Chain A
């Protein structure tokens, strides 16, 4: 059985790369999701992760391998975070590193799709033959489908 049998997430709202991070964040909060797909024209470009947007609110000195280990000494840092929130409006989706994920298609076997979902902590894009995004496959959708199949 392939993904053709699985009902994917509803037609995803694909962000343009020049969408501001603030707008992307608002959309995520409205929809209650942690990721949003990004398309370059009709082509799939990647997935923006809410954790990367959260990271943009932190001082850059605390990000990365050798960053500050803790920020307790800064205090609540509300003023610092407020400054960075303002900057989110000027930053675009393409300013953060999009999640580079394997793409699926309707002929991908379910077992392979399950394996890839297990390996990557994000929903995976399902593309049509023309490279356009047909939908997103989440763990919940796949598991619901697998359980329904096992029960029938």
Chain B
């Protein structure tokens, strides 16, 4: 079946075949990780246009600028805020609240990671939390492994809870016009339950055996978290803007605004507060430096992917896939929701969830002719839960996992692929089972 809009032949081949070939090639090269993923995605996007599947206007139309703006704006805000030392402050404070008790520390660091991860991207969260975790476990002379394992899990679970917590949610929210509050109300509760339940097996595997000597705990209790705040003025400015942005996200829908606008405005406001009293040259230097900290690889990866997916969407491939899924599930809504949830989870454990979600969004949109809008919303939650929680399944399931593994390796405590997976994959499956029950109780 070929979409009518793309019926013209290309070099004697149908647009469907050409677009699928480019799509498969692009995704295959991305999976090999031999070439930077942003370059591969942009090349795939270019090929979609050169091959005539899309013209430039259609390609640009396929780029979701709301997602791009939201990601970029939040990256700028986080890049500035992290310099204040506030995240370090919170992590050290959390350790002291539980008097550096090893199990209490694990719970607190998990909760702090989950909360930060719900408000920031996961990679940034673990970049801020993992070094403090290593320092505290070093001082307590205990293995950092259970803590880093929990930080990984908490970052992916926390990221599931909000619109801005994880890129798949940003993409889903933008495409389906789902608000910050929608995510908080619909996936927030199950994320909290999954986080709490995940700590139970972690306690029985590691937690109950953790022990630190009183003198080592005293060392941690002597940490002065106030010294973590390196710039009090910046801290006030950043907290003010973050509060404003989060309030904006909560109220966005009722004031008819999109999250991308709010994040970008917040970023511009924080930049203004940082530079308004500086000379023009110093302003340029500071802003140039901040923009340099935006993860442009991720941004260009998204841009390329959006165009590649727009290509196969225009050619009708995704509509075809949606029909196949519905035929396969017999049009049964419950089965469709569970297929999306479990397939998303297992695939996201082994491949990047961003390309997968980019592909699945138009597929679910195509199901609008079969299911009601309320049922489609449930499919979004299934996709969100599967794609975000699935990242916990293996070390390569999410970028944050690899970042923590890299830090652990450099610190002399390597996290190996197989031992991690043997613990993480069953725990991930358990979290998906919990999500299944949640979907069943609430929506099915």
Which A positions have Cβ atoms within 8 angstroms of B?
59-64, 66-75, 79-80, 83
Contacts and interface: CB of A to CB of B under 8 A. Distances in A.
B139 A73 contact: no
B138 interface: yes
Interface in B224-259: 224-228, 230
B222 interface: yes
Given A79-B219, A80-B138, A67 B131 contact: yes
B132 interface: yes
Contacts of A63: 410-411
Given A59-B135, A79-B219, A66 B226 contact: no
A61 B222 contact: no
Nearest to B220: A74
A48 B225 CA distance: 36
A64 B138 contact: no
Which of A59, A74, A75, A79 lies at the interface centre, i.e. has the most chain B CB atoms within 10 A of its CB?
Answer: A74
A61 B412 CA distance: 10
Contact of A60 (B92, B138, B215): B138
A68 B138 CA distance: 13
A64 B222 contact: no
Interface string B122-160: 000001001111110011010000000000000000000
A69 B82 CA distance: 11
B127 A66 contact: yes
A71 B222 CA distance: 13
Contacts of A60: 134, 138, 410-413
A81 to B, nearest CB: 11
Contact of A73 (B92, B130, B219): B92
B175 interface: no
B92 A61 contact: no
Q: Which 4 A-B pairs have the closest CB atoms?
A: A60-B411, A61-B134, A73-B227, A61-B135
Contacts of A71: 135
A76 to B, nearest CB: 9
B222 A75 contact: yes
B133 to A, nearest CB: 8
Interface of B: 88, 92, 127, 130-135, 138-139, 141, 215, 219, 222-228, 230, 403, 407, 410-413
Contacts of A83: 141
A72 B227 contact: yes
B127 A80 contact: no
A73 B131 contact: no
Given A66-B403, A83-B141, 18 more contacts: A59-B134, A59-B135, A60-B138, A60-B410, A60-B411, A61-B135, A61-B138, A61-B407, A61-B411, A62-B131, A64-B410, A68-B135, A71-B135, A73-B227, A75-B222, A75-B223, A80-B138, A80-B139
25 contacts: A59-B135, A59-B139, A60-B134, A60-B410, A60-B412, A60-B413, A61-B131, A61-B133, A61-B138, A61-B411, A62-B131, A63-B410, A66-B127, A66-B131, A67-B131, A68-B88, A68-B135, A72-B227, A73-B228, A74-B135, A74-B139, A74-B223, A75-B224, A80-B138, A83-B141
Contacts of A75: 222-224
Contacts of B219: 79-80
A68 B410 contact: no
A67 B130 CA distance: 9
A66 B225 CA distance: 19
A73 B411 contact: no
Nearest to B139: A80
A112 B411 CA distance: 38
Which of A59, A61, A67 lies at the interface centre, i.e. has the most chain B CB atoms within 10 A of its CB?
Answer: A61
A95 B235 CA distance: 40
Nearest to A84: B138
Which of B92, B133, B139, B230 lies at the interface centre, i.e. has the most chain A CB atoms within 10 A of its CB?
Answer: B139
Contacts of B127: 66
